[in-house]
Chain A
Amino acid sequence: MTIQFKDETFRNDYTFKNSEWAIKRFPFPFHEDSYMYSVNMEQHKGGPEGSIYEKRFDVDEHYLGEMRDRAEVLIEDPLRCQSLPHMTLAGWDLLELIMVSKSEDYPDLFELHRKGNNWRWVNKPMQIDDSFTFLDDATLPYGPMEYITRQTQGDFVILDQRENNLWMDAGMVTTQADWSLDFDIGMNFFEWHAPVPKAHEMGIFTRALKFLLNIQQGAPARRLNWTMTVNPLLDTSPENYHKWGVQKN
């Protein structure tokens, strides 16, 4: 099926709306009458056809609207996207992962042509057609992580694995549930999770870290997370709390 990309806003007039198709595939997270966190990880190895789990990186009808909103957030606040100097190689790794996955999973929308390190990436919905040299930052308009995450739905954090811990050393975070990349950058797994109520005592983070440290190349995992807001506002950041916090009244 061809995705009908919508022209919609996630702020001000909030023209965002889900189609029937989008509603049907929405991963409603509440299976019981009450909810508590759990370490609900599973292998990311596809899913039912048409579901949000089927493709490696899902693309839906909100793709263009979300990318436009991301670009606006970044104009107002460039610190939502940061990469510590040693993480550039990881950024290229992410770029390769997303480009290969999306060009294979959505051949009608994305193309990747590679000849050695000479790459050409075509993103039809966003009308992008860029040729560049893999691993050469100078040949892209942004750093590799920023470049590809400006074209991929969802927030991204790249974690450096050192000293049996994970460190938040790079990220593109524009649709967060009230946490700040600029505040957390450089922190480790336990540090950045400090504000989450109850979970530390429940041992959730120790178990989650052990699992994450042993994820192997070629065996990705996934975990469904969720957040609730009053309006379909994507930018629910601490940086802009003065603008959206009042909506909770």
Chain B
Amino acid sequence: MSGAEKINVKVTNIVKLNDLVTRFEFKRTDGGLFPTFSGGAHTVIELKDGDLTRRNPYSLMSDPMDQDGYSISVRRDDEGRGGSLFLHNNIKIGDDVVLSHPVNLFSLDLRAKKHLMIAGGIGITPFLAQIKQLDRSHGNWELHYSVRNQSLGTYVDDLKSMHPNDVNIYYDDEKNFIDIVNLLDGQPLGTHLYICGPKGMIDWVVGEASNLGWPVEAIHYEEFLAPQPGKPFQVKLSASDKVVNVGESESLLEAIEREGVDAPYLCRGGACGQCETSVIEADGEFIHRDHWLEDEDKISGKKNNAMCITI
């Protein structure tokens, strides 16, 4: 990973919040303090699944000032590549796992006069940490949180009881949707907008905000992008001459890590550009699913690929 050292932790608590979401809590095995972080940061958890090492990023939802423990909440994805399933089905209290130092690609802009938060489903997690951070400094925030229904409303009760005036909940099944145009129109100058949820929701909200003339610097979003499966392929690494076979459900990054290459990464979700690599020559077609490359680079097929979602 060529970054900071990893943090060895023990799973100290597992709380099933509802049918889909479970919270995992960790303490350091060396008894030391966790690094403080800023709300919106994530950690990459490293799990040994037989021969396979899984690396999955999850937002840290715990209080950024709490150096005694970290928590994440994970939504079970039955259609995915197995990381969240592995966590839900195999990890037990007392297990040893490894966490990365926090990385923040979705931080608050502290110049904002008001932080307007739009969350969809498991996208609530980064906001939980940001809210705790803002409350310490009496920051001005407002949350609009869309969930499927009451039983899948993760943390809805906690949020409503702690912040009855600042939290608004919308239930999809009851045809209760965020009135985004009215919400965005008329926010005070200096409001920053933060969106975290499914891609469709992000695209919709960002689109409406742009139409209303919101400056791009005031719009922040994070998508939990998981690589989608593709056909297996073979890659030759020009620096080391290694030839790597990339399986159907592993990414290029994961495949070369499996072969012992310590490649740089930050988000593992196609958003940050850290694992970008040049393509010297290719046989076949690229379908670009990342957020990093410019459109012209995607079309030319020449420049680079984000290895973490090259599947």
Q: Contacts A162-B217, A219-B4 known; A86 to B111 CB distance under 8 Å?
A: yes
Distance in angstroms from A50 CB to nearest chain B CB is 24
> Are B37 and A217 neighbours in the complex by a CB distance under 8 Å?
yes
> Are B109 and A219 neighbours in the complex by a CB distance under 8 Å?
no
Distance in angstroms from A138 CB to nearest chain B CB is 13
Q: Which residues of A contact B37 (CB under 8 A)?
A: 217
Task: State which of A96, A161, A163, A216 has its C-beta within 8 Å of the C-beta of B103.
Answer: A216
| Residue A89 at the chain B interface, CB threshold 8 Å | yes
Q: Which residues of B contact A96 (CB under 8 A)?
A: 36
Interface residues of A in 87-110 (CB under 8 A from B): 87, 89, 93, 96
> Are B266 and A214 neighbours in the complex by a CB distance under 8 Å?
yes
| Residue A203 at the chain B interface, CB threshold 8 Å | no
> Are A163 and B3 neighbours in the complex by a CB distance under 8 Å?
no
Count contacts on B: residues with CB < 8 A to the other chain: 19
Chain A 182-200 near chain B by CB (<8 Å), digits 1 or 0:
0000000000000000000
Distance in angstroms from B268 CB to nearest chain A CB is 14
> Are A216 and B217 neighbours in the complex by a CB distance under 8 Å?
no
> Are B274 and A218 neighbours in the complex by a CB distance under 8 Å?
no
Q: Contacts A89-B137, A96-B36, A163-B217 known; A218 to B5 CB distance under 8 Å?
A: yes
Q: Which residues of B contact A135 (CB under 8 A)?
A: 136-137
| Residue B83 at the chain A interface, CB threshold 8 Å | no
| Residue B101 at the chain A interface, CB threshold 8 Å | yes
> Are B36 and A216 neighbours in the complex by a CB distance under 8 Å?
no
Task: State which of B101, B109, B110, B137 has its C-beta within 8 Å of the C-beta of A217.
Answer: B101
> Are B4 and A217 neighbours in the complex by a CB distance under 8 Å?
yes
Docked pose: A245 CA to B225 CA in angstroms: 56
Q: Which residues of B contact A219 (CB under 8 A)?
A: 3-4, 101
- Shortest Cβ distance from A90 into B: residue: B110
> Are B35 and A217 neighbours in the complex by a CB distance under 8 Å?
yes
Docked pose: A86 CA to B134 CA in angstroms: 12
| Residue B102 at the chain A interface, CB threshold 8 Å | yes
> Are B102 and A217 neighbours in the complex by a CB distance under 8 Å?
yes
Q: Which residues of B contact A214 (CB under 8 A)?
A: 264, 266, 274
Docked pose: A163 CA to B137 CA in angstroms: 24
Q: Which residues of A contact B264 (CB under 8 A)?
A: 214
Q: Which residues of B contact A163 (CB under 8 A)?
A: 217
Distance in angstroms from A219 CB to nearest chain B CB is 4
Docked pose: A135 CA to B132 CA in angstroms: 14
> Are B109 and A162 neighbours in the complex by a CB distance under 8 Å?
yes
Q: Which residues of A contact B137 (CB under 8 A)?
A: 89, 135
Q: Contacts A89-B137, A163-B217 known; A216 to B3 CB distance under 8 Å?
A: yes
> Are A86 and B5 neighbours in the complex by a CB distance under 8 Å?
no
Chain B 29-43 near chain A by CB (<8 Å), digits 1 or 0:
000000111000000
Distance in angstroms from A159 CB to nearest chain B CB is 13
Interface positions of B (Cβ within 8 A of A): 3-5, 35-37, 101-103, 107, 109-111, 136-137, 217, 264, 266, 274
Interface positions of A (Cβ within 8 A of B): 85-87, 89, 93, 96, 135, 161-163, 214, 216-219
